[in-house]
C-alpha cells in the first residue's frame, strides 16, 4: 500500500486521537502531518512496519503528549478562559458517531486538567478501546502503570462529568427553544431552559472583547445572553444553528456570512447546563462561510493537512 493510500485510510483515526489530546485543530494537523512524514521517511529507509495502524497511532500519541505539555504552558498565559478550537459541521461524520460524546466541548475542557499521560491512556483505553497492553506500548509504560493512569483519569472524569444527558431528540428541542428565546430576548423562557447552576464560558483570547471569567447561575447567564444577543443584532450578526463537536450549537455570522463565533451547548438533567462561546478569531479560521453543507474547512476527512 502506498503512503498516500495509508494516509487516506489512517488519517481519520490519527486526527481523532490528536484532536482529543489537544483540543486544537491547528495543533492536531501539525501533529498528524509530522507523524505521517516520519512514517514516510521510515518506509523510504526500508524499515519494517508490521502494523501501519499501530505505528501511526504510537507516533501521533507521543507527538501529541509532547505538544500537550508545551500547549499547557502557553494556555496558562492565555488571556481569559481557554476553550477548545471547535469542530463546527452540519453533521457528525459517520466514523465519529461512536465517539461523539468524547468530542463535546465540555468533555474536552474536562480533560484539560489531566496530565498528558493520563489523558493519553484514558482516551486510548476508554474512548478508542485499545487493550491495556497496546496502550502501555504506545505511551511507553508498563501495563500496571497504564492501569493506574486510566484509573486516576476515570475517577476525575466521573467526579466532574454530568451523570445524565438528554437524548439527541431532547437536545435538539432544547437547543431550538434556547436559540429562539435568546433571539427574542425572552428572559423568563430562557431561564426555564437553563439548569440552576448553568455556566457560561467565553473565549475571546484577548483578541475581541469578552468576559475573562465564567458567568454562573441561571439568572446571570440569561441576562448575559440576552444582552450579548442585543448587541450582536445591532451589529448585523445573526445565528446559524449547526452541530458543534457532535452536539447542538450555532455559528454566529456577520452580514457577509463570515463567522464571528461558535457556540456549543452541554446538557444536564434535561436542561442546558453549560454554554461555550468561542470568539477568538484565531480559532475561527477553519470555520468557512455559512451556506454550504460543511462549515469546517479542515477536519478529520480533509484531503490535506492544513486549511
Check whether residue 131 and residue 183 sit in a common domain: no
pLDDT tens track for 217-230: 999 999 999 999 99
Whole-number pLDDT of residue 297: 35
| CATH number for 260 | 3.10.450.50
Check whether residue 118 and residue 183 sit in a common domain: no
Domain end marker among 131, 160, 189: 160
On whether residue 300 sits in a domain, the answer given is: no
Element housing 249 (H / E): strand 247-253
For the chain, the 3-state helix, strand and coil shares in percent, each to the nearest 5, are: 55, 15, 30
Rounded Cα distance, 154 and 151, in Å:
5
Check whether residue 211 and residue 265 sit in a common domain: yes
Contacts of 283 (CB under 8 A, 6+ apart): 83, 85, 86, 203, 205, 262
Check whether residue 132 and residue 221 sit in a common domain: no
Whole-number pLDDT of residue 97: 47
Check whether residue 206 and residue 79 sit in a common domain: no
Check whether residue 55 and residue 187 sit in a common domain: no
Check whether residue 150 and residue 271 sit in a common domain: no
Going by the DSSP 8-state scheme, the letter that residue 85 receives in this structure is P
Q: For residue 267, what are the domain limits?
A: 168-283
Whole-number pLDDT of residue 17: 96
Residue with grid cell 478501546, as numbered in its chain: 129
Contact 182, 250 (CB under 8 A): no
Considering the entire predicted model, what is its pTM? 0.87
Domain count, the chain: 2
Check whether residue 199 and residue 137 sit in a common domain: no
- In 3D space, the residue among 140, 134, 98 whose CA is nearest the CA of residue 13 turns out to be 98
On whether residue 293 sits in a domain, the answer given is: no
Check whether residue 217 and residue 188 sit in a common domain: yes
On whether residue 304 sits in a domain, the answer given is: no
Contact 272, 266 (CB under 8 A): yes
The residues of the chain scoring below 50 in pLDDT are: 90-95, 97, 290-307
Check whether residue 54 and residue 141 sit in a common domain: yes
Residue with grid cell 448553568, as numbered in its chain: 198
On whether residue 305 sits in a domain, the answer given is: no
Rounded Cα distance, 25 and 16, in Å:
10
Residue with grid cell 508545551, as numbered in its chain: 70
Amino acid at each position: 500500500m502506498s503512503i498516500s493510500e495509508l494516509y487516506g485510510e489512517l488519517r481519520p483515526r490519527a486526527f481523532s486521537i490528536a484532536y482529543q489530546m489537544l483540543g486544537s485543530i491547528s495543533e492536531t494537523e501539525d501533529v498528524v502531518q509530522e507523524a505521517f512524514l516520519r512514517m514516510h521517511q521510515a518506509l523510504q529507509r526500508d524499515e519494517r512496519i508490521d502494523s501501519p495502524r499501530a505505528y501511526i497511532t504510537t507516533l501521533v500519541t507521543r507527538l501529541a503528549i509532547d505538544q500537550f505539555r508545551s500547549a499547557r504552558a502557553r494556555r496558562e498565559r492565555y488571556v481569559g478562559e481557554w476553550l477548545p478550537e471547535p469542530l463546527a459541521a452540519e453533521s457528525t461524520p459517520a466514523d465519529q458517531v461512536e465517539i461523539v460524546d468524547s468530542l463535546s466541548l465540555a468533555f474536552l475542557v474536562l480533560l484539560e486538567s489531566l496530565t498528558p499521560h493520563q489523558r493519553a491512556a484514558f482516551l486510548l483505553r476508554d474512548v478508542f478501546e485499545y487493550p491495556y497492553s497496546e496502550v502501555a506500548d504506545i505511551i511507553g509504560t508498563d501495563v500496571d502503570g497504564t492501569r493506574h493512569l486510566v484509573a486516576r483519569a476515570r475517577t476525575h472524569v466521573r467526579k466532574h462529568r454530568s451523570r445524565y444527558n438528554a437524548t439527541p431528540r431532547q437536545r435538539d428541542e432544547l437547543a431550538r427553544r434556547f436559540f429562539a428565546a435568546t433571539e427574542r430576548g425572552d428572559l423568563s423562557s430562557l431561564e426555564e431552559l437553563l439548569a440552576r447552576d448553568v455556566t457560561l464560558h467565553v473565549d475571546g483570547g484577548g483578541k475581541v472583547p469578552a468576559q475573562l471569567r465564567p458567568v454562573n447561575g441561571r439568572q446571570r447567564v440569561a441576562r448575559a445572553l440576552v444582552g450579548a444577543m442585543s448587541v450582536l443584532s445591532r451589529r448585523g450578526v445573526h445565528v446559524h444553528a449547526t452541530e458543534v463537536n457532535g452536539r447542538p450549537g450555532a455559528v454566529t455570522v456577520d452580514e457577509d456570512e463570515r463567522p464571528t463565533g461558535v457556540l456549543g451547548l452541554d446538557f444536564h438533567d434535561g436542561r442546558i447546563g453549560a454554554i461555550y462561546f468561542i470568539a477568538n478569531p484565531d480559532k475561527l479560521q477553519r470555520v468557512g462561510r455559512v451556506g454550504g453543507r460543511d462549515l469546517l474547512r479542515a477536519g478529520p476527512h480533509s484531503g490535506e493537512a492544513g486549511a
